[in-house]
């Protein structure tokens, strides 16, 4: 190893040590935990190594429910939130008066605490002995019958969940997309106008390809974020997510560690690794798909 090389490693050392302690070691540890059968956290003992933890988790109905919930959440919220964010940013991009004001308003949810937003959603949707909640009042005004969104049927709870998730992730996406739209050189639009390009064609042939790297970034981070959903569920349905049937994979991992039925780090580790495998697969698919569609200049 020549002198320069040694120097480089020396400079990298602090970062490598921290990465090793806080990233590599825990990952490795999770893998070990997930393979230790019958691990007891009190006595720190286990029977032996094997894949029993995985098969247990995969047969656990709570886990399967959590996987189903997470997938529904991902499939509904990622495309919808990205699409809505795109529409809103296009609107924000094209209005002139009070542009900054609107941009601030749309960004406010981002700086608002998740639990506070959850509380507001509870007030909007929750049925109590005194009131049916604001949304139900609206439904009744249009002649419908009220629905219990928080403790009622599965689809109603899922609707609130998706609505909430989209609402929470929108501001960041709008922020990214408005800045992406603003960074497109206006000469492209002028050139397109001189050539008589219709506005829909300008959008599909110029705007979309120009901001496609940013859209792709939002889709990938959106998928990853939605797969890791947990706190939003707690904000609306409380901590016992298994009881309300609205648990997510991360929620399941948490319950296995610290919940009322917790104390099983091996099951938690196995579930976490399954989540990791799912996210990795989806991200790889995303990357492959983007090669064909995303424009890089």
User: Between 52-59 and 61-94, two packed helices, what is the crossing angle to 10 degrees?
Assistant: 70
- Least distance from C-beta 207 to another protein, angstroms? 11
| Residue 150: how many other CB atoms lie within 10 Å | 20
Nearer to another protein, 109 or 209 (CB): 209
Query: Using CA atoms, how far apart are residues 248 and 71, in angstroms rounded to an integer?
Result: 9
Nearest Cα to 276, choosing from 27, 60, 1, 95? 27
Using the minimum distance from each CB to another protein, give the nearer residue, 45 or 295: 295
Query: Looking at beta carbons only, is 129 or 196 nearer to another protein?
Result: 196
220, β-bridge pairs: none
Query: Residue 185 CB, nearest distance to another protein (Å)?
Result: 6
- Which residue, 84 or 210, is less far from another protein as judged by CB? 210
Terminal-residue alpha carbon distance, the chain:
38
CB of 260 to another protein, least distance (A): 54
Write out the two tokens for 150.
């928080």
Q: Which is nearer to another protein, 209 or 263 (CB)?
A: 209
Min dist CB 34 to another protein, Å, is: 44
Residue 18 or 188 with smaller CB distance to another protein: 188
Contact residues toward another protein (CB under 8 A) are: 185, 187-188, 190-198, 201, 205-206, 209-210, 295, 297
Closest CB 294 distance from another protein, rounded Å = 9
Tokens of 212: 């496609």
Shortest separation between residue 219's beta carbon and another protein, angstroms: 18
Containing 189, the helix (H) or strand (E) segment is helix 186-194
Looking at the chain, the number of H-run helices and the number of E-run strands are 15, 2
> What is the C-alpha separation between 14 and 194, in angstroms, rounded?
56
Geometric angle at alpha carbon 101, from 77 and 226, rounded to 5°:
15
């Amino acid at each position: 190893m020549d002198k320069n090389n040694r120097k480089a490693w020396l400079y990298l050392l602090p970062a490598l040590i921290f990465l090793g302690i806080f990233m590599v070691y825990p990952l490795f540890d999770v893998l070990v935990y997930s393979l230790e059968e019958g691990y007891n956290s009190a006595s720190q003992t286990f029977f032996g190594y094997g894949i029993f933890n995985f098969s247990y988790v995969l047969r656990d109905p709570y886990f399967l429910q959590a996987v189903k919930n997470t997938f529904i959440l991902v499939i509904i919220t990622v495309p919808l939130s990205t699409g809505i964010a795109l529409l809103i940013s296009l609107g924000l991009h094209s209005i002139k008066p009070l542009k900054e004001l609107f941009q601030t308003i749309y960004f406010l949810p981002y700086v608002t605490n998740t639990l506070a937003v959850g509380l507001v959603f509870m007030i909007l949707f929750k049925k109590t002995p005194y009131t049916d909640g604001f949304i139900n009042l609206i439904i009744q005004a249009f002649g419908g019958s009220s629905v219990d969104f928080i403790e009622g049927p599965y689809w109603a709870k899922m609707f609130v969940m998706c609505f909430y998730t989209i609402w929470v992730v929108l501001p960041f996406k709008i922020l990214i997309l408005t800045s992406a739209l603003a960074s497109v050189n206006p000469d492209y639009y002028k050139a397109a106008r001189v050539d008589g390009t219709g506005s829909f064609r300008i959008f599909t042939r110029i705007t979309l390809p120009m901001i496609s790297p940013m859209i792709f970034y939002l889709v990938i981070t959106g998928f990853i974020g939605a797969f890791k959903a947990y706190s939003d569920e707690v904000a609306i349905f409380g901590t016992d997510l298994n009881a309300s049937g609205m648990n997510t994979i991360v929620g399941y991992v948490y319950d296995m560690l610290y919940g009322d039925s917790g104390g099983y780090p091996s099951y938690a580790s196995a579930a976490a690794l399954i989540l990791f495998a799912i996210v990795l697969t989806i991200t790889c698919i995303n990357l492959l798909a983007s090669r064909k569609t995303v424009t890089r200049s």
